Amino acid sequence: MPQLAFANSFWESYDVLEKPVKAGVRKAMQKFQLLSVPELHADKGLHLESVHNARDARMRTIRINDFWRGVVLAPDDGSDVFLLVNVVRHDDAYTWAAKRLYTTNSVTRALEVRNVVAIEQLTPALEKAAAAADSLLFAKCSDTVLHELGIDEQVLRAVRTIVDKAQLKAFETLLPEDQCEVLQYLAEGFGPDEVYRDVVAVRRPVDAGPDPDESLAVAISNTTNRITLVTGPEELADILEKPFSAWRVFLHPSQRRVAYRVSYGGPVQITGGPGTGKTVAALHRVKHLLTRSPDTRVLLTTYTNALAGSLRENLSLLLDRDDALLGRVDVTTVNAYAHGVVTRLEGKAPSPMNDREERQLWQRVVKQLGLPWTEQFLAQEYRHVILAQNLRGRDAYRNALRRGRGSALASARRDQMWSAMEQFESMLRDQQATTHLKVCARAADLLAGSAPTHDHVVVDEAQDLHPAQWRVLRGAVTPGSDDLFITGDPHQRIYDSKVSLGSLGISVAGRTHRLRINYRSTEEILGWSTGILSPVSVDDLGGEGSDSLAGYRSLLHGRAPCVEGYGSEQAEVAALVERVEGWIGQGIRPSEIGVCARFNVLLDKAYEKLTAAKIPVVRVRDNPGPGTDGVRLATMHAMKGLEFRCVTVLGVTASAVPFAREVTPAMVDALQRDSDLLRERCLLFVACTRAREALAVTWSGSASAFVPQPHRRTGQVA
Ligand SMILES: Nc1ncnc2c1ncn2[C@@H]1O[C@H](COP(=O)(O)OP(=O)(O)OP(=O)(O)O)[C@@H](O)[C@H]1O
């Protein structure tokens, strides 16, 4: 009986097909499960035919219906796995199939595909141009080194014509996948040894024999990150009927390596820019941890309730809605977990106040004690020094190092400050209230005197956690193997938490990993958005040095972001309505469009105008489920962790981003000012990197200084 496998190129085409065509694909695929190989070849309905002038002799097309054909790679070496690679309109199917060549990578042993005709046509002209070029991108790499990294003869010839990264980019869709990735890493400045270790060796099967060309079936089984092999009829029905989520099946080797490593000796940290699949890696890690023993309990945390909801949904998908497995995972925010611990161990639920109430309380403290500081300064001292270092008495505070604070406080001032802190806490007690961070501090104390609640803790969106929240997580699990799996991106830090993980008993030394491929946004959106951060450097996740986005890139391509200024807010919102109508006109569902701004006031105006134009709109803060129609409106903060096909970031003006009220004046605290400005910059970066296919960044009046210069325009809708 033949076996069936599906390439990722197939899923990209399948997901957008109309229902009857999908039904045709299912019917055709069932035949591969019912008929023998000779019967398949003889079947009239399937009409398995070879492709005229095909560069790959194994290329076949099959009939789906009168208008669509499937493209299949048929084994010619006695093996029995058929690979469905695409579904294409009838007339285009033959041209598409004729140009593609599938080969086995000599080192990774995975099956790769290239547009062999395009490479052949382009290379001679490019060779002429290269002969006159001043420098070549891969001049430093010898042929031997490239061969050892899996580059074959045809690709090598093309490689020797590449003058710069832009030309490599133009080649990307034509080159075999594994070879292309090797070249991208080399182009980013990684050394051949690093590339071999991180890109090649991780893919090479441990039992790779001397002959790279074994059989198509073996090559297919070596290509788990791009090909799914279907083993039975139920699996076939399941895979073709559910919406296909590539992240569940095709992990990049760097993701697979971190998520499915059998065990880590202690806490492990995974970083990576936006959209590199950190959340995906965290979800797969949970799956792996659950299978380690039948009664393991896992705590999976994230930053907001909305993100916890989507984690729960995705985990359920990944675990095939297996209630027994899902019952062993608690998915929640750190604050909610801490609240639960305090409620359980003290028998009474704490009532934390919101940010506004907390600010008002600090204002009262300033007034009552006639203090020389603003309420903002006091709140920061409380958060960044007292709670961060868990200081419990006047003497401890007197002697504390005020790391990250740019204003010295003499000892008399410290005494005055401590009295202010005591006053704040006594007012809290009087109101029988508390703050979220104090709940965390209490939970950490309680956990220190009781048994850990979980066997493993997996932390997503770790970059914004405060030391008090880390102490709770530290207390949730016994220190040791596989205790904490931490994912986060310091470039997306938007709540100003300064953390030294080591000092909190969370040492990730020797267990840090980085993901570099963005699966969400096009390279155009990514390149533009990273420009927002290029003037600054950011501290790494553990607080031990700085982090960088070196090698961070996307495999997707699309249009450049639209970056546009308007004469008035009214004109800006009118242009938004027109843009959203344009996107919907192109077939994008309203729920796939995100609109965000720094403040709700502008979002209210957008809401009104979009509604007036009869476009459905919903607020992200109202937690609309995936089935709810409507353009999503959110503040920049609420965009954290989300993604949309199209995004507009509104109101990116000089006065809103950075927002002066949120930035400490230099004369109050210069270090705090720098860190406030960085946080505001990161906020814009987070908002822009939510976009998958289209991004618009707009303002009225003067643009934010964070908008990268060369691209700014002033005019009408693009
Ligand atoms: N191996 C994969 N194959 C296909 N899609 C993937 C893969 N890994 C991640 N994705 C997709 O890429 C997008 C981003 O993934 P994810 O949310 O995990 O990234 P992230 O690093 O957590 O992002 P951010 O830091 O911006 O929140 C999602 O749509 C996810 O489904």
What is the 3-class SS of 202-218, one letter each residue?
CCCCCCCCCCCCCCHHH
Residue 557 has pLDDT above 60, yes or no: yes
Residues 698 and 515 sit within 8 Å (Cβ to Cβ) = no
The alpha carbon of 51 and the centre of ligand 1 are apart by a number of angstroms equal to 36
**Which amino acid is present at 482?**
D
The average pLDDT across 687-696 equals: 96
pLDDT at residue 438 in the model:
96
Tell whether 19 and 73 lie within a shared domain.
yes
272 is in an annotated binding site: yes
Q: Does 303 map to a domain?
A: yes
Q: Judge whether 630 and 616 are in contact, CB under 8 Å.
A: yes
Show which of 547, 574, 608 is a domain's final residue. 547
Q: Is the pLDDT of residue 170 over 90?
A: no
Lowest mean pLDDT among 204-213, 368-377, 440-449: 204-213
Determine the distance separating the centroid of ligand 1 and the alpha carbon of 493, expressed in angstroms: 18
Examine the pLDDT at 225 and tell me if it is beyond 90.
Answer: no
Q: Read off the pLDDT of each residue in 333-346 and give the average, rounded to a whole number.
A: 97
276 contacts 493 by C-beta, under 8 angstroms: no
- How far is ligand 1, taken at its centre, from the CA of residue 114, in Å? 25
Flag whether 251 is in a domain.
Answer: yes
pLDDT score at 712 = 55
Q: Is residue 80 situated within a structural domain?
A: yes
- Which amino acid residue places its CA nearest to atom 29 of ligand 1? 520
The span from the CA of 611 to the CA of 629, in Å, is: 13
Binding residue per annotation — 701?
Answer: no
Quote the longest CA-to-CA distance of the chain. 94
What pLDDT does residue 357 have?
A: 93
Report whether 279 belongs to an annotated binding site. yes
Q: Which residue has the higher pLDDT, 106 or 234?
A: 106
Of 183, 164, 161, 157, the C-alpha closest to 172 is 183
Give 551 or 611, the one with higher predicted confidence: 611
State pLDDT tens for residues 41-56. 899 889 999 999 999 9
Q: Which domain holds residue 590?
A: 559-700
- The pLDDT of residue 380 is above 70: yes
* Domain co-membership, 419 together with 447: no
Is the pLDDT score of 588 beyond 60? yes
Q: How high is the ipTM of this complex?
A: 0.99
Residue among 280, 555, 695 to mutate when testing ligand 1 (max atoms within 8 A of CB)? 280
In a domain, 716, yes or no: no
Q: Which two tokens stand for residue 271?
A: 């970083």
For residue 461, count other CB atoms closer than 10 A to its CB. 23
Structure tokens at 450: 């009781």
pTM of the entire structure? 0.82
pLDDT over 90 percentage in the chain: 66
* pLDDT above 50 (res 718): no
Instruction: Give the residue, by CA position, lying nearest to ligand 1 atom 26.
Output: 274
Q: Per 3-state DSSP, what percentage of the chain is helix, strand, and coil (rounded to 5)?
A: 45, 15, 35
Say how many C-beta atoms besides its own lie within 10 A of residue 430's C-beta.
Answer: 8
Question: Using CA atoms, how far apart are residues 159 and 187, in angstroms rounded to an integer?
Answer: 11
CA of 236 to the centre of ligand 1 (A): 25
| Ligand 1 center–CA 574 separation, angstroms | 32
Residue of the CA atom closest to atom 28 of ligand 1: 520
Which of residues 433, 451, 472 is at a domain's end?
A: 433
Whether residue 195 sits in one domain with residue 134: yes
Q: Mark whether 89 and 144 lie in a shared domain.
A: no
Q: Which residue has the tokens 């400050």?
A: 417
Across 385-405, average pLDDT: 89
Q: Where is the domain boundary, 379, 403, 433? A: 433
Q: What is the pLDDT of residue 67?
A: 92
Residue 705 lies in a domain: no
Q: Tally the domains of the chain.
A: 5
* 277 annotated among ligand-binding-site residues: yes
Name the closest-CA residue to atom 2, ligand 1.
247
State the CATH number of the domain containing residue 588.
3.40.50.300
Assigned token pair, 164: 């710069």
313 plus 405 within the same structural domain: no
Q: Are 68 and 24 in contact (CB under 8 A)?
A: yes
> In this structure, are 454 and 522 located in the same domain?
yes
**Angle between the N-to-C axes of helices 436-448 and 334-346, in degrees from 0 to 180, rounded to the nearest 10:** 60
Helix (H) or strand (E) segment spanning residue 483: none
d(CA 385, CA 382): 6
CA-nearest residue for atom 1, ligand 1, is: 251
Is 278 annotated to bind a ligand? Reply is yes
Does residue 590 share a domain with residue 511? no
Structural domain contains residue 391: yes
The answer on 447 and 318 residing in a single domain is yes
d(CA 524, CA 254): 23
Residue range 4-55, pLDDT digits in tens: 999 988 887 787 788 889 999 989 998 988 888 889 889 988 999 999 999 9
User: For ligand 1, what atom is nearest to the CA of residue 460?
Assistant: 22
In a domain, 572, yes or no: yes
Q: Which residue's CA lies nearest to atom 6 of ligand 1?
A: 247
Cα–Cα dist 270/401, whole Å: 29
For residue 712, which of 575, 595, 561, 576 has the smallest C-alpha distance?
A: 561
Contacts of 661 (CB under 8 A, 6+ apart): none
| Residue 39, number of CB atoms within 10 A of its CB | 12
Same domain, 568 and 670: yes
Q: Is the dihedral of CA 157, 162, 168, 170 positive or negative?
A: negative
Q: Which residues line ligand 1 (CB under 6 A)?
A: 246-247, 250-252, 255, 272, 274-280, 489, 492, 519-520, 641, 643, 689
16 lies in the same domain as 70 = yes
**Claim to verify: residue 95 and residue 124 sit in the same structural domain:** no
**Same domain (yes/no): 318, 452:** yes
Ligand 1 centre from 37 Cα, in Å?
38
Q: How many Å lie between the centroid of ligand 1 and the Cα of residue 247? A: 7
Residue 158 covered by a domain: yes
- Residue with CA at minimum distance from ligand 1 atom 25: 274
- From ligand 1's centre to the CA of 519, what distance in Å? 6
Tens-place pLDDT, residues 253-277: 889 889 998 899 999 999 999 999 9
